[in-house]
Amino acid sequence: MSELSNALNFSGGPGVLPESVLNEAQEAIRSVPEVGLSVLGISHRSDWFAAVVEEVERNIRQLLQLPDSHALLLLQGGATLQFSMVPMLLLRDSSKTAEYIHSGYWSRQSIPPARLEGEVSVLWDGEASGFRRLPAASELHHRADAAYFHYVSNETVEGIQFHEIPGREDVPRVCDMSSDLLSRPFDPDRFDLIYAHAQKNLGPAGVTIVIVRRDLLDQVPDGIPAVLDYRAHIKAHSIYNTPPVFAIYVVLLVTRWLIEDIGGLERMATINQHKADALYAIIDSHSDLYRGWARPENRSLMNVAFELPSTDQETAFLNQARVMGFSGLKGHRSLGGIRASIYNAMRLDAVESLCAFMEDFATQARR
Ligand SMILES: *Cc1c(COP(=O)(O)O)cnc(C)c1O
């Protein structure tokens, strides 16, 4: 077996984390400098951890320019639990209809739990077009009285990403940003509810960020268990029960890295754009060999999915890539093909190494 390297880990999720964060996390497992104890054994009721939660919230608020109208929570259960929590809290006992876009693998998972709670209308379905594109605003016929409108900003599996915010301004907008939150700036005031687990772009698995407009919660029905009610978590400052202390600590390190090392979301977005441009340029310049999955205007800046003409060639590509130290490039099991995930922590020089490998592979394939 050859040695794999973190720097060349293009995994779709859990994704790569910055080297400096891994070093600090390693040290904290032995002992958190300002405490003297392992992060794995510090009480979630300690002053130290209360300060960690407070700083994570402050850092994310600063990065997103989040207004006070919105609460920020650190929850468990991943994005999948949010697929159920959202309709439980916003659709149950309502006479209104919730609108969903079915744009790929992850939005597909979000719809059945909503149907358990009330009326759902699928506004647009990308299945017929093979989930290679996203709808234009003119294709979405929204109702004015929807309970809410739900979409996935970046379909991680197919590598398609909204570059405009869909929906109406007078209907609550709900978005699964699991694979692109904090990868670029956007106006959070246009969203009523955002959720994103950490393990693609923000930290390790175990913690999920929820950002919710406080007044959206005035209408929550009775009979929801407190652990599934955002209001209980707001009241408890995200320490309702034992939270994933280590995962939250690593998210703190990642937010510090974004602020101090990267310099904020504008800078992060510029770097992410360079990485994506480099990869798509190689794909486009060898279109006989590499076939990009997404329609160009819907290409994701986080997940670059492409195919080769045969599965034999894909296997050869993956095997040779592995010998060179690259990992995580096999496409999602539902789609096949190749996928390079280039989350925030993936460095531009690593993407350039992948581009060089793809160039060599293409030259070799032509012989
Ligand atoms: C990975 C992913 C999910 C699934 O998240 P879990 O934390 O495993 O529940 C949901 N939505 C998107 C957009 C994803 O990328």
Which amino acid residue places its CA nearest to atom 3 of ligand 1? 79
Span 273-281, mean pLDDT?
98
Q: How many angstroms separate the CA atoms of 147 and 241, rounded?
A: 30
Whole-number percent of the chain with pLDDT over 70: 99
Residues 162 and 308 grouped into a single domain: no
pLDDT in tens, 23-48: 999 999 999 999 999 999 999 999 99
CATH number at residue 11: 3.90.1150.10
Residue 65: inside a domain: yes
Q: Specify the pairing of strand 97-102 against strand 119-125.
A: parallel
Span 132-161, mean pLDDT?
97
Residue 249: inside a domain: yes
- Decide whether any atom of ligand 1 lies within 6 Å of the 180 Cβ: no
Residues 131 and 13 grouped into a single domain: no
ω before 221 within 30° of 0 (cis)? no
Residue 85: inside a domain: yes
Residues 52 and 190 grouped into a single domain: yes
Residues 70 and 140 grouped into a single domain: yes
Compute how many other C-beta atoms are within 10 angstroms of the C-beta atom of residue 104: 25
- Of the candidates 69, 42, 296, the residue with the CA atom closest to the CA atom of residue 163: 296
Beta bridge mates, 327 = 9
Q: Tokens at residue 98, please?
A: 């919730």
Residues 321 and 183 grouped into a single domain: no
271: containing domain: 6-18+264-365
pLDDT of 367: 78
- Of the candidates 101, 107, 111, the residue with the CA atom closest to the CA atom of residue 135: 101
Q: Tokens at residue 110, please?
A: 């979000």
Which amino acid residue places its CA nearest to atom 8 of ligand 1? 78
Residues 326 and 201 grouped into a single domain: no
Residue 322: inside a domain: yes
pLDDT in tens, 48-66: 999 999 999 999 999 999 9
Span 245-262, mean pLDDT?
98
Residues 340 and 228 grouped into a single domain: no
pLDDT of 3: 75
pLDDT of 366: 82
pLDDT of 262: 98
Residue 1: inside a domain: no
Q: Residue 46: which residues within 8 A CB-CB, separation 6 or more?
A: 35
DSSP letter, residue 261: I
Tell whether the model's pLDDT for residue 2 goes beyond 60: no
**Which segments are annotated as binding site for L-glutamate?**
45
Structural domains of the chain, count: 2
Q: Tokens at residue 324, please?
A: 């060179």
Residues 232 and 341 grouped into a single domain: no
Residues 51 and 31 grouped into a single domain: yes
* Three-class DSSP category at 295: coil
Of 246, 261, 276, which residue is a domain's last?
261
Span 213-231, mean pLDDT?
96
- Decide whether any atom of ligand 1 lies within 6 Å of the 161 Cβ: no
Contact 194, 283 (CB under 8 A): no
Active site residues: 106, 176, 200
Question: What is the pLDDT of the chain when averaged over all its residues?
Answer: 97
Span 105-111, mean pLDDT?
98
pLDDT in tens, 309-360: 999 999 999 999 999 999 999 999 989 999 999 999 999 999 999 999 999 9
For residue 242, CA distances in Å to 25, 27, 109, 237, 246 come to: 20, 22, 27, 12, 11
pLDDT of 193: 98
- CB neighbour burial string for 345-359, b if at least 16 within 10 angstroms, e if fewer: bbbeebbebbbebbe
Span 252-280, mean pLDDT?
98
At 133, the amino acid letter reads: R
Residue 356: inside a domain: yes
* Three-class DSSP category at 216: helix
pLDDT of 199: 97
Residue 222: inside a domain: yes
Of 261, 296, 317, which residue is a domain's last?
261
Indicate which atom in ligand 1 lies nearest the CA of residue 199.
Answer: 7
pLDDT in tens, 182-205: 999 999 999 999 999 999 999 999
Q: Residue 137: which residues within 8 A CB-CB, separation 6 or more?
A: 164, 166
Residues 48 and 185 grouped into a single domain: yes
Of 261, 289, 313, which residue is a domain's last?
261
Compute how many other C-beta atoms are within 10 angstroms of the C-beta atom of residue 58: 13
Beta bridge mates, 154 = 161
Span 204-227, mean pLDDT?
96
Residues 235 and 318 grouped into a single domain: no
CATH number at residue 255: 3.40.640.10
Compute, in angstroms, the gap from residue 193 CA to the centroid of ligand 1: 16
Residues 288 and 233 grouped into a single domain: no
